[in-house]
Amino acid sequence: MSEPAAEGAVAFVLKLGRGLHAHGYPAHRLEAALVRVSSQLGMRGQFFSMPTGLFAAFGREDDQRTFQIRVDPGAMDLRTLVALEAVANDVAEGRIGPAEGSLRIDAAMASPPPYPAWLSTLCFAVSSAAAARFFGGGLREIAASAGVGLVVGLLALLARRWAPLGRVFEAVAALTSALLASLAARYGGPLSIYIPTLAGIIVLVPGFTLTVAMTELATRNLVSGTARLAGAAGTFLAIGFGVALGTRIGEAMLGGLPVARPVALPLWTEWVALLVAPLALMVLLRAPLRDLLWVELAGILAFSGARLGTLLLGAELGTFLGAFAVAAASNAYARALDRPSAVPLVPALLLLVPGALGFRSLSSLIDRETVSGIEAAFRMTLVAISLAMGLLSGQLVIPPRGADRD
């Protein structure tokens, strides 16, 4: 390979790594993808990924060129991941050159969001309402959760435009959620304060980050997994602080609030929530609209698998079956349609992640219920491990796309 060609290939691989990293690739998949692309471009590459950085080295050990890239993790963007993987495959298989591939990466990274801001904000409310039904809420809890979720969505829109708010967004959103839930309980009739408080911020609870961290630890990516685990813990603490402060402010403003039990809804309403939730998550994750059917089917498969697993294995270990089924199905989707498995997989996993248990653990610890808090934390960890093992086991049945080329 000539020197200009080698420079272009290195620049392409680094740009690809930055893009995949910034839009949600876990360490083990990112490193494997970059090694494969480098090898097919005729280069020897070694990569080391962390949640906020990427190290890349090209060449023999005694004559390496090493690069350090600082990456700010962005929000999961499934449409951009689809575009980046398509570019990587086209370059690796020789259909386009690295120079054209770099231009296509720039275009994919600079493209505007696929859905308008108002729709994304509305989907915060829809996902919160669906979560309230999953948590056993009645009509009042669902309505309150939708209202809280809408306000949190507006805060998220503001946080993207105002950096100081973005740094404390989770804590501010949690405070707002707790305060609005208290106001709803006082003036909107008797309702469970806990459900709209949690459902209103369910999109922000880092259960998915915790699951990815466990997967990285299981695949021996210890530095990335530990760092991601610490990041998830920090987010949980910020949310716990916000909820505690919002609850105290609500008590000071409104006095003692009545304790109410949700009025149970018919079972069919849970299936309505199951159909609606993946739609909202698809918009929030910016998944391509063409994959609507596959996202819905993956969500139903994950939820049904977890319910069956709960009957067979118990509440904590039952999520293993849901993750196993959706991982295998997502890999089959990727191989059949030549698209990233993350498109149906990530929205489906968000229906299973143990964020609610983490929130419950923090709430118990804040209320000085130490035993309950530790028990909930242990259950959350067990669920996250079950999900990680289910994902990895599903890949044994149907390997990921590209595994036969690695």
pLDDT tens digits, residue range 127-152? 999 989 988 888 999 999 999 999 99
Query: What whole-number distance in Å separates Cα of residue 151 and Cα of residue 159?
Result: 12
Q: What is the pTM for the complete model shown?
A: 0.87
**Domain residue spans in the chain?**
3-110, 116-269, 287-406
pLDDT of residue 384: 83
- Secondary structure class of 53 (helix, strand, coil): strand
The pLDDT assigned to 365 comes to 56
Number of Cα atoms under 13 Å in the Cβ half of residue 278: 28
pLDDT computed for residue 124 by the predictor: 95
pLDDT of residue 120: 93
Radius of gyration of the chain (CA): 22
217 vs 378: CA distance, rounded Å: 17
Of 53, 28, 79, whose CA–CA distance to 222 is shortest? 28
Question: Could you give the strand order of the β-sheet that contains 53-58, starting from the edge strand earlier in sequence?
Answer: 45-50, 53-58, 65-70
pLDDT of the residue at 62: 76
Residue-wise DSSP of 199-220: HHTTTTSTHHHHHHHHHHHHTT
Q: Which two tokens stand for residue 247?
A: 């609850």
Question: Is the separation of the CB atoms in 319 and 383 below 8 Å?
Answer: yes
β pairing state of 45-50 and 65-70: unpaired
Residues of the chain with pLDDT under 70: 1-5, 74, 354-371, 373, 402-406
| 43-86 pLDDT, tens digit each | 889 999 988 889 999 988 777 889 999 887 767 889 998 999 89
Six token digits for residue 125? 């409310």
Q: Are 390 and 321 in contact (CB under 8 A)?
A: yes
User: Are the C-beta atoms of 197 and 206 separated by less than 8 Å?
Assistant: no
**β partners of residue 70:** 53
- At residue 406, the pLDDT reads 42
Amino acid 135: pLDDT: 85
How are the residues of the chain apportioned to helix, strand and coil, as percentages rounded to the nearest 5?
A: 70, 5, 25
Bridging pattern class, strands 53-58 and 65-70: antiparallel
